[in-house]
Structures are given as structure tokens and as C-alpha cells.
Structure 1
Amino acid sequence: MSSKELVSEESQHVHNTLPPKLIYNPREKIEAEQIPIEDLVVQEKKEKRIETQLVPYPEKVPLGPIPKFPVEMAWSPSALYFVMDEEPVTLKVRIWNTSYHCMYFLFCGLWGDTARLGASWCCHPHTRIWLPPGLSSQITVKATPREASPIPCAIARMQVAAGHLRDNVTGYFAIPVHVKFLKYIPPPAAPEGEG
């Protein structure tokens, strides 16, 4: 053999990597006659037993959905009392987180516009307060009286928003605010003949 023939045979063996015969299933084929009938046994089906569990109906049906993480807070004093004369009055409210998880609190303003007729109101801090369970923080409320008040007294509520997440409000709380204006000027009475 020449060297060219040896090289061509070696190159053919290198390129032909598949076997000449492809076997898809290497196991021997079993015919139906080869299976003995005596070995076949019918097995009984096991029935699944479904056990029922009786759940007692609650005596008190809740009025609404029960939250997974309830919002609970406490504050002191329980109500704010302002006596407005010449000078601005500043009061402080301490808020406690009595929930079992961290909460965000934010002062949202006053409910009741009658208190704004005799004084202007501001509160600090203006940002959200992050409180872990059991800790407290302080909110400062400052009321500046106007020159004259058209009402002798007012009742308002300080609104505090609470939530689990920073930008998600879960509930609102209202702290009562009672205000007495010493600069009250009653409206002039109409003469008896007019009307």
C-alpha cells in the first residue's frame, strides 16, 4: 500500500465516529406468550379515608376584617388643653408604639376649622417618626393667637397617621384638642328697633 492510501483510510476512520448499526432499545423484546398468567395478582385499591374536622362557629362574629399586624399606639396627655391670650402656647405630646412591630407616625394637621379662627397652628417634626415597639417619641404643638377671636372656645382633633411602611398609611388616630380664647370679642348687638 502506498502512503496516500494509508492516509485516506486513517482520515476516513477519524471522520466516521458513529457505529454502523444504531440500536434504539438494547433490551430484548418480550412477547405476550412469555409472561406467565399465574404471576399476575390483582391488587385491591386502597380507599382514601377523608376525615372531617368540625370547626366551631365563633360566638362573636367580627364586624370587619382582622388585620394581621394591628396598629396600636398610646399618647400622653390624653387630650390637649390650650388657653390662648397674648403669648403663643406650646404643648408636647409623647407617643408610644404599643404594637409588636415597627411603625411610622406622622402628624397630619387638625380636624375642625373652628380652632383656626382664633389661632394659627404648627407642629414639629414635619417628617415621619420611625418607632420600634415599646419606644416613644415627642410631637410639639405650637399655637399662636390672633389679634381677636370671633369664637370663645373650640374643640378640634390632632390627626396622627400610622403605617407599617414608610409611604403606606394603615390607620389614623385623633388626639382631642380643647381651646379657650381669652381674646374673644362678641359681635356687636343690633339695636332693638332694627331687624
Structure 2
Amino acid sequence: MRDLPVDHRGFPVPWFVAWVDGEPQFPVADGRKFGLAQRQDRCWVCGGKLGRIKAFVIGPMCAVNRVSSEPPSHLECARFSARRCPFLSQPRMKRVGEKNLPHGINQPAGTMIKRNPGVALVYLSLGYSSFGDGRGGTLFDIGKPHAVEWYAEGREATRAEVLASIDSGMPLLASQCDRDSDPAAARAQLGRMHVAALTLVPADQVAA
């Protein structure tokens, strides 16, 4: 990441960020680089070649359905994002409103949950696959976890913080089940995914 350009504040500009009129648009991903990341196995954050283990930076709800709208990164790049990204490391930070985005920007694939979850998950995977969202976009099935790391406010998240974020987000996923052709089956499947996600939650911290 030392080779990345910096903005006027001295902040590194991730590789995926779109540039408009010579200025980085931090909330906006460059669609061309999205394709390059897929085809050339590049890190979403620094643009370098990825290794065998891929790291996804996701929120708790993505830990439930194991889907990401962004390609993977190097582990260290993912950790940097989870610790330093203003949105991921500051629970009160809100997403940029659509009115404040440059003209012509498309929304990411899938159904985006616009809340700030308060915690971020670095999800290490040995294998993932891509699939269409039915509207021309691409999503990623992040596969089974090799390891996970939870962060909140730029530090390791506590079990209570992670559970609180999952609990507060589950109604959002449940509401999507009601739009399924078989809501009962969708809710049952969501319940099973919820149970699986809870196995990824960190254990209680014990004082030495």
C-alpha cells in the first residue's frame, strides 16, 4: 500500500477508488478495476497480485449469508481497511447520500444495507465464486471461512459488540425473506445461516 497515491490530506487512496477530474471519490468504486480484480486476481485495496488465501472485508450480515459485493484483498490490506477506513472504524459514520455522489454512478450489486453495522469482519477464504444478482451486477459467494477477525473502532471487537450488531441486523435480512416466493422456507434457511454465523463470533475475553 506504500505505492498507492495519497489525497490532499495525505490519506492513501485504495486501488479500487474511482477518480473524477483528478480527485479520488472515496465512496465510489471504479467499475473497470472491478473487472480487473476478477480477471487478474488482484487485491481490491492495493491492486497487487493475490495469493492462495483471500480476505474479504464484510459486515455481520454478510457473515450470515456469506455474500460480498466486493472482490477480496490481501490479509494485511483487509486489516488496514477494517482499522482505518472511516466508515468501518467509526460506528457513527454514515454512508454518503446518493445526492452527494458524482453523476452517473451505479449502485453496487445485490441489496445494500445502508446502516453502519459498527463492526467489520475480515473473513479469510481459501475459495470463492462469483454469481449474478439478476440485475446485471456481480456478487461473490465467499465460501467457508479459513479464519475470521472482528474489528470495531479500529481495534479487536468484543463478543458483545459483534452479537449486538448481528442481532440488530437480522430483522433486515428477515424482511427480505418476506419477498421470496416461499417466505417460510427462506426464513428457515436464514435461521440455519444465522446459527452458522454465530460460530464465528469471538469468545468472551478473559482477564489475565
Q: Give the TM-score taking structure 2 as reference length.
A: 0.19
Higher relative contact order (CA 8 A, sep 6+): 1
TM-score by length of structure 1 reads 0.20
Bigger proportion of residues as strand:
1
The structure that has the greater radius of gyration is 1
More helix by share: 2
